[in-house]
Amino acid sequence: MKKFLTRVPLVLATSSCMVMTIAGCGGGEAADGGATGEAKSIAFLMPDNASTRYELFDRPLFEARMKELCADCEVIYSNADSSASKQQEQANSAIAQGVDAIVIDPVDSAAAATIVNSAQSQDIPIIAYDRPIPDMPADYYVSFDNEAIGAKIAQSLVDHLTEIGAEGGLLQVNGSPTDAAAGLIKEGIHSSIDSSDFELLAEFDTPGWDPTEAQNWVSGQITQFGPDIAGVVAANDGTAGGAIAAFKAAGVAELPPVTGNDAELAALQRIVAVDQYNTISKPIKTVAEAAAEVAYRFASGETVEGKTTLFDTPSELFEPTVVTLENFKEVIIDGGVATVEEICTPTYAADCAAAGIE
């Protein structure tokens, strides 16, 4: 039976395929391809700049789909830069401007309940995006299945370690304690680790998903557990990068396998270089376009039925795909997530060649 060697105190927590066009998106498209929908204003409130995805992918993909739905619609974009109070101000501003709908990826899932209440009191529909808001049901929630993400990355690691006959225990680097999606990922990770033969050495809730915080914590665990660390389950690519940096700074010659999530370019390059074991491919285009379609329908006065329910909120949860070097070309290159040119820069050219990615 598995035993827990040490569990460091957790940071206090408070309560991360092809898009099918949702039918009846209000309006439509003219014969010349121009959108004919009635003009609306939609607030798109993102949480931070710690992850590059929001500026590089979520925002432009959301705005592009909204433009297709409605050429005259306005997207009011704001990034809270990891500040819950700043996001509250941005939401208040959007409400004061009389937006027709709000899409929010909350910095703090508990604090965002106030934003939901404020918006709904003004009859402004609010769509939770990527991260749920458990304490106050939004009108809709669009995301990938975060619990499945955690379970899949951890199980992938456990299977790999079992296959190679690894011994030792695991470190678990969770996401932000104020992010309900991180909590779901954490639950999924535990479901795989706790049913495995590997001991959980210690775990950590990473404030603000900050890679530096993850690196500092992992550095301490390397000092404590050293060669007993068989692998690290990191909840996203940023914390994975922090964990890997800690091992390199400690002079560990053979890095233990480390998981990730988000398929960020830096993580894809680390996988090719065999510094990171896996990540999750969850094409942001999928959720960004779905959120735009749902937001426009709500803004147009429709009620959108969920395909499932999470935290009493009608929801649509997409299935993620685990990526390792084994299926890298099929999922990442052939799937259009990233190009060979983007990944195989001069620094990684030899690694790409060794992996057959050219």
The more confident residue out of 52 and 14 is 52
At 37, the pLDDT band (50, 70, 90 cuts) reads: low
Parallel, antiparallel or unpaired: strands 321-323 and 279-281: antiparallel
Listed in order, the ranges of the chain carrying CATH 3.40.50.2300 are 41-145+284-318, 146-282+321-355
Whole-number Å distance between alpha carbons of 212 and 34 = 46
pLDDT at 27: 41
Parallel, antiparallel or unpaired: strands 140-144 and 126-129: parallel
Question: Among residues 156, 189, 193, which one has the least CA distance to residue 279?
Answer: 156
Parallel, antiparallel or unpaired: strands 199-205 and 229-234: unpaired
pLDDT digits (tens, 9 = 90+) for 127-180: 999 999 999 999 999 999 999 999 999 999 999 999 999 999 999 999 999 999
* Contact yes or no for 167/137 (Cβ under 8 A): no
pLDDT at 283: 87
Question: Which CATH code for domain 146-282+321-355?
Answer: 3.40.50.2300
pLDDT digits (tens, 9 = 90+) for 235-269: 999 999 999 999 999 999 999 999 999 999 999 99
**Average predicted confidence (pLDDT) for the chain:** 90
The CATH architecture annotation of domain 41-145+284-318 reads: 3-Layer(aba) Sandwich (3.40)
DSSP 8-class letter at 98? T
Question: Among residues 100, 115, 197, 211, which one has the least CA distance to residue 158?
Answer: 197
pLDDT digits (tens, 9 = 90+) for 166-220: 999 999 999 999 999 999 999 999 999 999 999 999 999 999 999 999 999 999 9
Whole-number Å distance between alpha carbons of 262 and 264 = 5
pTM of the full predicted structure?
0.83
pLDDT digits (tens, 9 = 90+) for 276-312: 999 999 889 999 999 999 999 999 999 999 999 999 9
Ranges of H-type helices in 169-283 = 180-193, 211-225, 237-249, 265-272
* Contact yes or no for 87/47 (Cβ under 8 A): yes
